Structure 1
Amino acid sequence: MTAVAAVPTVEELGWVAVGDSGAAGVARRVAVDCAQRLGFSEQRAGEVAIVAAELASNLHRHADGGALSVRCLRRGEVGGVELVAVDSGPGMADLPFSSVDGHSTAGTLGIGLGAVRRLSDVAAGYSLPGRGTVLTAQLWAGEKRRMVPPPVAGLSRPITGERACGDRYAARAVGDVLLVLVADGLGHGPLAAAASSAITDVFLASDVDAPGRLLELLHRSVSHTRGAAVSVARVSDGAVVFAGLGNVAGAIAFPDGERRGMVSMPGIVGHQSRSVREFTYELPPEGVVVLHSDGVSDRWNLRDYPGLSRQDPLLIAATLLRDAGVRRDDACVAVAGSGVPA
């Protein structure tokens, strides 16, 4: 794996449930507020508003149980707005064709998805008839440019009724090595979110690249919080080194449905740690690494999603979160694929 693209830090702004036409206005305001805080020009913030409104309107017109995630991204000194639209609607058999201006299945002008693709620096989608659709878009400050997404992404959502999510993902690249973490703060709500936030802060600030040593560092650093289950994966060319404490699952998944689980030890980072062990696993070129909290069922199978394993990791994470995040709990999924040149 050659040097991987820089991994942006993520600030979660929450999910907008799209139950009526008014949700488009809510999504637009949240996204524009993020853009303005990140120093977007007035024109670029206006383009953010268009993309957010189009994604939300598309969910309202076509989808069942649709929701839109809005996040602020930072890559060095540059800020970005990320939008993830997830639904369990009828799906589309030909998503690329549906993204062309002028194509519509609802008697509209059909400009929505075409505008999303045209205005975004990065736009992607995955749809399966009968299962639903995931659409993602990133818009970065400055002039529109071609951005290379990193080979890792994650997505979380809080338990129903809570605004703060106690499950969190973080990642960082060190040369040709990718480090991925998922933390599941004990319980849910603000205190769980504080625990997982403290863990990701220490992880991102550290220069340690061994998963076992990272867990030991985190264990010493966050004893003032209620603690969390944590797993860390070190992904390099052909291998994964994995260490976990608690019930954050790790697996290497393949398009044919094969899945190799990775071993996590009992414990709670910050409170109980009898032993930390690292395990090394082979990572073939077609495999992807998936970490998820226990708010996500482990019954997912990439064989059920033709072509998904070759897509952007954010599309994989969002699809699995939608379909396997069925437990009444906070939920988080992180996915690392093969390396992408910087």
Structure 2
Amino acid sequence: MDDDLLDGDEVWFRMEDPGTVGAARRAAELLARRLVLGGGRTDALAIVVTELATNLVKHAEAGRLLIRPVRADDVAGVELLALDSGPGMADVTLSARDGHSTAGTLGIGLGAIVRQSDWVDMYSLPGRGTVTVAQVWPEALPRPAVTAGVRIPMTGEQSCGDAFAERVVDGRRQVLVCDGLGHGPLAAVASTAAVHAFHRAPAGPPAAVLEHLHRATSHTRGAAAAIAELVPERGLVRYAGLGNIAGLVVDGDERRGLVSLPGIVGHQRRTVREFEYPFPDGACLVMQSDGVTDRWRLLDYPGLQRRSPQVIAATVLRDFGVRRDDACVLVAKAVP
């Protein structure tokens, strides 16, 4: 099992040798049993994870596989996220057809992945790698998510001090990204406390919720945190942050940075301020911890903005995550 194992039901594998394929399949099957996925869907999940993992071992460079639960309302499924920096594919649709094989690429086995999964999304560029997300559910596929995050611990750590969350309270759709100070278990305690406080906070605008987090996490070492409230029907996003969480609204070739003030949630803060920004239809909100550099541009990835938030977040994390720190990226789309 990979050194980058996360606490709980979320686990990363480095796909470097064939023996890791079996370990990944067993981890997925264990999660499926915990979630009561059902025998038939667990068998389908085993096929999907085996194909994804085998492709990464045989054909990818720096291949990684994330296995985690995914939830919609009261239903839970399993999500697999595979990313690599390998040869990539020029035509994903062609590569997914049964019988299509191109030596040295990840095209092999994609047909089985598509058939056995309830939902699949993929992005690939020749010479720059591939990101694939697949979900297996116990029953009918829920509506695809419009918000998703991906996080990974610093190399050598088992706990990730970065975290993300989403909630809808009294019609307010809000998202959180937080970064516990430092890294390791104590940083994870701080970010976990912030996530719990976020879910339990009374309904209110981002600044008020951030104040609640500040009071609720004073027993921890503290964290950087930012909260955004998405109001796509009015074409705007409300944002409040303390510390070095970066927020951007991305729309084609336009990138607008969102303001976070200096401070530490749980310890040091100035007056929390909230700002409003335009959030046009089709735009993406991207929030990231300081374990991700901000040198990326979606325009360098043709068609990526049209992909799912999972694929966008994972692509940014893969190419701009800093291995000497925890890293987290959250993406939310402007969908009414």
How far 1:75 moved relative to its partner? 2.8
Equivalence for 2:88: 91
5+ long unaligned stretches in structure 2 = 1-6
Equivalence for 2:188: 193
Tell me how many residue pairs correspond in the alignment.
328
Equivalence for 1:178: 173
How far 1:326 moved relative to its partner? 2.8
Please tell me whether the aligned partners of residues 185 and 229 of structure 1 are also in contact (alpha carbons under 8 angstroms): yes
Equivalence for 2:309: 313
Q: What CA distance in whole angstroms lies between the structure 1 residues aligned with 2:116 and 2:309?
A: 21
Please tell me whether the aligned partners of residues 255 and 286 of structure 1 are also in contact (alpha carbons under 8 angstroms): no
The 5 A counterparts of 1:152-171 are 152-171=147-166
The 5 A counterparts of 1:1-342 are 12-106=9-103, 112-141=109-138, 143=139, 145-174=140-169, 177-237=172-232, 238-256=235-253, 258-339=254-335
Please tell me whether the aligned partners of residues 101 and 114 of structure 1 are also in contact (alpha carbons under 8 angstroms): yes
* TM-score, reference length from structure 1: 0.92
Q: What CA distance in whole angstroms lies between the structure 2 residues aligned with 1:175 and 1:239?
A: 18
Aligned partner of 1:172: which letter?
R
How far 1:11 moved relative to its partner? 6.0
* TM-score, reference length from structure 2: 0.93
Please tell me whether the aligned partners of residues 65 and 87 of structure 1 are also in contact (alpha carbons under 8 angstroms): yes
Please tell me whether the aligned partners of residues 119 and 135 of structure 2 are also in contact (alpha carbons under 8 angstroms): yes
Please tell me whether the aligned partners of residues 249 and 286 of structure 2 are also in contact (alpha carbons under 8 angstroms): yes
Please tell me whether the aligned partners of residues 87 and 104 of structure 2 are also in contact (alpha carbons under 8 angstroms): no
Aligned partner of 1:279: which letter?
F
The 1:107–1:185 alpha-carbon spacing in structure 2 relative to 1, beyond 3 Å, is closer
How far 1:86 moved relative to its partner? 0.5
Q: Greater relative contact order: 1 or 2 (C-alpha under 8 angstroms, separation 6 or more)?
A: 1
How far 1:178 moved relative to its partner? 2.3
Aligned partner of 1:137: which letter?
A
Q: What CA distance in whole angstroms lies between the structure 1 residues aligned with 2:8 and 2:250?
A: 28
Please tell me whether the aligned partners of residues 95 and 108 of structure 2 are also in contact (alpha carbons under 8 angstroms): no
Please tell me whether the aligned partners of residues 249 and 293 of structure 1 are also in contact (alpha carbons under 8 angstroms): yes
The 1:41–1:69 alpha-carbon spacing in structure 2 relative to 1, beyond 3 Å, is same
- Give the secondary structure class of the aligned counterpart of 1:102: coil
How far 1:192 moved relative to its partner? 0.6
Q: What CA distance in whole angstroms lies between the structure 1 residues aligned with 2:303 and 2:142?
A: 22
Q: What CA distance in whole angstroms lies between the structure 2 residues aligned with 1:327 and 1:295?
A: 8
- For residues 84-108 of structure 1, the C-alpha deviation after alignment (integer angstroms, 9 at most, x for no partner) is 0000001111012111221111399
Aligned partner of 2:185: which letter?
P
Please tell me whether the aligned partners of residues 182 and 248 of structure 1 are also in contact (alpha carbons under 8 angstroms): yes
Aligned partner of 1:151: which letter?
V
- For residues 57-86 of structure 1, the C-alpha deviation after alignment (integer angstroms, 9 at most, x for no partner) is 111122100000111123333211111000
Aligned partner of 2:16: which letter?
G
How far 1:154 moved relative to its partner? 0.3
Q: What CA distance in whole angstroms lies between the structure 2 residues aligned with 1:111 and 1:90?
A: 13
Q: What CA distance in whole angstroms lies between the structure 1 residues aligned with 2:282 and 2:40?
A: 41
Q: What CA distance in whole angstroms lies between the structure 2 residues aligned with 1:330 and 1:37?
A: 27
Q: What CA distance in whole angstroms lies between the structure 1 residues aligned with 2:212 and 2:8?
A: 23
- For residues 135-169 of structure 1, the C-alpha deviation after alignment (integer angstroms, 9 at most, x for no partner) is 0011112x3x3332121000000000001100011
- For residues 170-227 of structure 1, the C-alpha deviation after alignment (integer angstroms, 9 at most, x for no partner) is 1123476421110101111111111111111121233424110010000000111111
Please tell me whether the aligned partners of residues 246 and 290 of structure 2 are also in contact (alpha carbons under 8 angstroms): yes
- For residues 20-62 of structure 1, the C-alpha deviation after alignment (integer angstroms, 9 at most, x for no partner) is 1111111101111110001121221111111111111111122
Aligned partner of 2:148: which letter?
A
Q: What CA distance in whole angstroms lies between the structure 2 residues aligned with 1:19 and 1:327?
A: 17
Please tell me whether the aligned partners of residues 31 and 48 of structure 1 are also in contact (alpha carbons under 8 angstroms): yes
Please tell me whether the aligned partners of residues 84 and 137 of structure 1 are also in contact (alpha carbons under 8 angstroms): yes
Please tell me whether the aligned partners of residues 11 and 73 of structure 1 are also in contact (alpha carbons under 8 angstroms): no
- Give the secondary structure class of the aligned counterpart of 1:138: strand
